[in-house]
Amino acid sequence: MEKRIREELLALFKSKLSRPMEMYLETCARCGICTEACHAYASMPLPKYTPAYRAEVVRRIYKNYFRWQGKTVPKAGECKKLDETIIDELKEAAYSCTGCRRCMVYCPFGIDTQQIMSIAKLLLVGAHAEPELLSLLADVSISKGESIDSFKEGFLEGVKNLEEEVVEKWRHEAGRTPIPTEVVGAEILYVALAGAHSIIPAAAIFNAAKENWTLSFFEAVNFGAFVGDPTKTKIIMDRIINEAKRLKVKEVCICECGTAFRVMSQLSGSRPFKVSSITEVHSRYLKEGRIRLDKSKFNVPITYHDPCQIARNGGVIDEPRYILSHLTDNFIEMSQDPKYNWCCGGGGGLVALGEETLDFRMKSAKVKAEQISKTGAAILATACENCHTQLSNLNEHYKLGMNVQFLSSLVSDALAK
């Protein structure tokens, strides 16, 4: 590797050395307690799939360039030079980790492997070795933000086409727009995904609750976070923050997308508006009696997969259960403690990479498939786009015979007048 490139990569590495990151890199005792936490290792017991092994790939570079050991006795810590050979190792480590942070719950120190993998991802971006598709998708999101006017018309037309279906689900007062946009002073700015499934049920529920809401021009998903590029992550996030500020909304409601919710609610610092997941909003509507659900709609056992970024990493744990208690008397918990729920195996950009990662996703989530199958439920609900895709793939691959549904779709289908 050329000296100049190495120096650039080390500068990127250094930019990630925050206070917690330093402690994560310094403290691991390589005790291996986190080993069993990772679904990839639990499904395919190879040492390279243990959380600490992944982190070691990064830690060994850290020790080589940023610590005394690399300069004195590099062999003692098996320090590694940053060269071409390590790029493949970084890629394998980072893109076999979904960033679910289940290992963080196991570790006696609470070491965050997702954070450490964010260094690996950034180094890959710096070495132009990241999955191109993710960077491309991030760039598309960014250019959308930069030239909002040029795609506005097409967007509004697309939204118009969905209105009929929204009204079919919930007929509200005449004269009101089923999918409002650009409402200054709205209570809620709803940030959806590109796709009718993310807009229609949500719109019907907002309308049923008589909410003063407005639809964002941007899609929630943050491909910058998937590819691990902090600059792009911020630009993509700022599009939404600026829109919320411009419209002076009180609350930004993120659709069923785990990464988008975690980035906005946990990783973006303080904001002048409240951030909620759509699950929280629906649970609130039920509590306040603004919507009612018809329990007779689904007469089969329902189970719920807690998306890692929304539950363990985002704190939305009780709300989906509250909603489900209004949807069915036959709810089956998937994991005794939601904090320990297995990851679906599709996070961290793996689902976005589609077919390319399908084989690994299916093999590494064997434990997840077993967990789902044990519930014996007929409907498998979840509240994250990535999880939904991955769970549907698992459903097919492992022939689970489940009906995989978005929680918001169940709510909108069960809306009672």
Partner 1 sequence: MNTVYFFILVPMVYIAFAVFIIGMAAQVIRVLKKPKLNASLRIYPEEKPRWFWSIFDSILLPTVWRHNKALWFFLIAFHASFILVFLGHLELITEMKWIQLIKHEIFLGKGFVGLIMSIALLFFLFRRFISPTKELSVPEDYFLLVLLFLTVVFGSEMDWARRWYDYGEMSVDAYRSYLSSIFLLSPKIADVTTSGHSFMLVLHVFFANLFLMFFPFSHLIHSIFAFSLNKIRRG
The window from 67-75, 279-287, 289-297, 363-371 that contacts partner 1 (CB under 8 A) reads 67-75
**Which positions ≥6 away from 204 have C-beta within 8 Å?**
166, 169, 170, 412, 415
CB of 26 to partner 1, least distance (A): 5
Which of ligand SF4, partner 1, none sits in contact with 113, Cβ below 5 to 8 A by type? ligand SF4
Question: C-alpha 213: how far from its chain's center?
Answer: 24
Residue 111 touches ligand SF4, criterion: CB under 6 A: yes
Residue 89 touches partner 1, criterion: CB under 8 A: no
Cβ-count burial of 3 within 10 angstroms (0-12 exposed, 13-18 middle, 19+ buried)?
exposed
Q: How many residues bind partner 1 (CB under 8 A)?
A: 57
User: Which residue, 113 or 259, has its beta carbon nearer to ligand SF4?
Assistant: 113
Neighbours of 263 (CB within 10 A): 25
CB 186 within 8 A of CB 214: yes
Residue 370 touches partner 1, criterion: CB under 8 A: no
Residue 343 touches ligand SF4, criterion: CB under 6 A: yes
- In DSSP terms, 379 is beta-bridged to 302, 403
User: Which of positions 262-291 make contact with partner 1 (CB under 8 A)?
Assistant: 266-269
CB 304 within 8 A of CB 267: no
Tell me which of 5, 77, 271, 295 binds partner 1, using CB under 8 A. Answer: 77
Tell me which of 7, 8, 11, 45 binds partner 1, using CB under 8 A. Answer: 45
The window from 4-12, 97-105, 184-192, 399-407 that contacts partner 1 (CB under 8 A) reads 97-105
CB of 305 to ligand SF4, least distance (A): 15
The window from 48-56, 73-81, 176-184, 386-394 that contacts ligand SF4 (CB under 6 A) reads 48-56
Cβ-count burial of 157 within 10 angstroms (0-12 exposed, 13-18 middle, 19+ buried)?
exposed
Cβ-count burial of 133 within 10 angstroms (0-12 exposed, 13-18 middle, 19+ buried)?
middle
**CA distance linking residue 334 with residue 313, whole number of Å:** 18
Q: Where are the alpha helices (DSSP H) in 256-413?
A: 258-265, 278-287, 318-327, 355-364, 366-375, 385-397, 407-413
Residue 27 touches partner 1, criterion: CB under 8 A: yes
| DSSP structure class, residue 49 | G
The window from 23-31, 169-177, 207-215, 348-356 that contacts partner 1 (CB under 8 A) reads 23-31
Q: How many residues bind ligand SF4 (CB under 6 A)?
A: 27
The window from 49-57, 124-132, 240-248, 249-257 that contacts partner 1 (CB under 8 A) reads 49-57
Tell me which of 7, 8, 11, 31 binds partner 1, using CB under 8 A. Answer: 31
Q: Are strands 379-382 and 292-293 parallel, antiparallel or unpaired?
A: unpaired
Structure tokens at 329: 């008397």
Question: C-alpha 122: how far from its chain's center?
Answer: 18
Q: Quickly tell me which residue has 């191109």 as its tokens.
A: 132
CB of 348 to ligand SF4, least distance (A): 7
The window from 50-58, 198-206, 245-253, 402-410 that contacts partner 1 (CB under 8 A) reads 50-58
Residues 388, 276, 343, 33: what is their CA dihedral angle, to the nearest 10 degrees? Answer: 180
Tell me which of 11, 20, 148, 416 binds partner 1, using CB under 8 A. Answer: 20
Binding site for partner 1 (CB under 8 A): 17-24, 26-33, 35-37, 41, 45, 47-48, 50, 52-53, 56, 67-69, 75-78, 101, 104-112, 115, 266-269, 311-315, 317, 338-339
Binding site for ligand SF4 (CB under 6 A): 28-34, 37-38, 40, 51-52, 54, 97-103, 106-107, 109, 111, 113-114, 343
